[in-house]
Amino acid sequence: MNMELKRKLPTPQTIKDMYPVSEELAMQKEKNDRQIRAILTGEDDRLMLLIGPCSADREDAVLDYVGRLREIQERVKDRLLLVPRVYSNKPRTTGDGYKGMLHQPDPNGQPDLLKGLIATRKLHMKVLEQTGFSGADELLYPENYLYLSDILSYVAIGARSVEDQQHRLIASGLDVPVGMKNPTSGDLTVMMNSIMAAQHAHSFLFSQWEVHSKGNPLAHAILRGSVNKYGRSLPNYHYEDLSQLCELYAKSDLDNPGVVIDTNHSNSGKKWDQQARIAKEVLHSTRHSSDICRMVKGLMIESYLVDGNQKPEDGVYGQSITDPCLGWEKTEQLILDLAELR
């Protein structure tokens, strides 16, 4: 093989034994899981906000941010459920650039996956310990989930991974909700097929084992917009797009029809300051169709402490080093506005 085997990494159980989750924290995570499950099954009509930085680049700023979410959650708890994005790995279109805390626990340092595995687990644990939130992360590397399986409450599969067989099969074996994004092409059939695969049982190879999954009834759609052949972003959050998705769900036999709308990426054309407008338009659509209202389970919002983004070497506390995000003042106002509109 044209690669160097640098070192064998500890097993997921070894890392979990080094940094165990207490019984109290495990019970808190179960409580969070029940609340998210109730929204996705329609038992709870609150709106879920999957909200946080594009990438969790430094522990202190992320904990500061999530602590602020905890304070505002109490003010909107009757209408919104906040689930913090604590994204520890970052997909890159060309493979170049900062790939997240898993790869580079020091954004300006060299890749170190052992330190990254430990840093990401410690960060998710501290979020749970200090705020009571159990976070959401992206399933970029399927085997990495095993290192965090006892502390995550939500998993997303990105637009570049959703067509991958292994991601679909792993999603079918998870016991937390999995959001399947539409691919960058915008083909909703691909997304619906991925949801179907995730909801069905499968036998497959995973982590040197032959395994059998039972299917994940909480697998659902995430609409994130698309890119056409000219590289132009095309949104898919409008009323007509949501109506079309309702029709696709109606023709399927999928459990728990649901969608989360990603307000950034190709839906905003990466114009981060448009996220508030997009979120409010989605809620406007829910008021004009009972079917859309039942189907829309949440919004995904990229938000941090400081507006915009920066280069990793710039060192601005709480500003994204990947995609630009809403700063805290705009975030707080948006959360309060959405609670009023819900």
The residues that bridge with 157 in the sheet, in sequence order, are: 180
Reply yes or no on whether the pLDDT at 94 is more than 80: no
State residue 97's pLDDT score.
83
Number of domains the chain contains: 1
Whether 6 is in a domain gets the answer no
Model pLDDT for residues 234-274, shown as the tens digit of each residue: 999 999 999 999 999 999 999 999 999 999 999 999 999 99
Average pLDDT for residues 159-188, to the nearest whole number? Answer: 96
Count of C-beta atoms within a 10 Å radius of residue 282: 26
Reply yes or no on whether the pLDDT at 207 is more than 90: no
State residue 256's pLDDT score.
98
- Give the rounded percent of residues in the chain with a pLDDT score beyond 90: 93
The structure tokens listed for 211 are: 């395994």
Whether 7 is in a domain gets the answer no
Whether 237 is in a domain gets the answer yes
| 298-74-328-49 Cα dihedral, nearest 10 degrees | -10
Say how far apart CA 322 and CA 303 lie, in whole Å: 12
Whether 207 is in a domain gets the answer yes
Taking the mean position of all CA atoms in its chain, how far away is CA 249?
A: 21
Domain that holds residue 287: 12-341
Whether 1 is in a domain gets the answer no
Model pLDDT for residues 26-78, shown as the tens digit of each residue: 999 999 999 999 999 999 999 999 999 999 999 999 999 999 999 999 999 99
Q: What is the b/e burial string over 26-51, where b = at least 16 CB atoms within 10 angstroms of the residue's CB?
A: eebbeebbebbbebbeeebebbbbbb
Whether 73 is in a domain gets the answer yes
Taking the mean position of all CA atoms in its chain, how far away is CA 107?
A: 21
Task: Answer left, alpha or beta for residue 42, where phi above 0 means left and psi between -120 and 50 means alpha.
Answer: left
CATH number, domain of 270, equals 3.20.20.70
The structure tokens listed for 39 are: 């929204």
Whether 2 is in a domain gets the answer no
Element (H, E) at 88: none
